[in-house]
Homo-oligomer: A and B are copies of this chain.
Amino acid sequence: MAFWFSESHTDHVRMDILVDEQLYSKTSNYQKICVFQSREFGRVLTLDDVIVLTEKDEFIYHEMLVHPAMAVHPNVKRVLVVGAGDGGALRELSQYPQIESIDLVEIDSMLIDACKEYLPTTAVGYLDPRVTVHIQDGLKFIRKLQDVYDLIIVDSTDPFGPGEVLFTKEFYGNCYKALREYGIMINQHESAFYSYEASAMKRAHKRIKESFPIHGVYQAHIPSYPSGHWLFGFASINYKPLEDLDAERWNSLGITTRYYNTDLHIGSFYLPNYVKDMLNSSR
Contacts and interface: CB of A to CB of B under 8 A. Distances in A.
A223 interface: yes
**Residue among A15, A267, A274 with most chain B CB within 10 A:** A267
Interface in A243-283: 257-261, 263-264, 266-274, 276
Interface in A37-55: 38-41
Nearest to A223: B227
Contact of A13 (B17, B260, B271): B17
A43 to B, nearest CB: 14
A16 interface: yes
Contacts of A207: none
Copies in the complex: 2
A4 B4 CA distance: 15
Which secondary structure characterizes the binding site on chain A?
A: mixed
Interface string A206-231: 00000000000001010100011100
Nearest to A267: B267
Contacts of A227: 221, 223, 228
B260 A264 contact: no
Interface residues of A, number: 42
Given A228-B228, A257-B273, A40 B15 contact: no
Contacts of A271: 264
Contact of A40 (B4, B13, B259, B264): B13
A237 interface: no
A259 B219 CA distance: 14
Nearest to A276: B261
A110 interface: no
B258 A274 contact: yes
A258 B270 contact: no
Contacts of A41: 13
B229 A258 contact: no
Contacts of A263: 270
A113 to B, nearest CB: 28
A261 B6 CA distance: 35
A60 interface: yes
A18 interface: yes
A14 interface: yes
What 7 pairs between A and B have smallest CB-CB spacing?
Answer: A228-B228, A267-B267, A267-B270, A221-B229, A223-B227, A12-B40, A12-B18
27 contacts: A4-B14, A10-B40, A11-B18, A12-B17, A12-B39, A13-B15, A13-B16, A13-B17, A13-B41, A14-B15, A14-B16, A193-B221, A193-B223, A221-B221, A221-B228, A228-B229, A258-B274, A259-B272, A259-B273, A261-B272, A261-B273, A264-B272, A264-B273, A266-B266, A266-B267, A267-B267, A267-B268
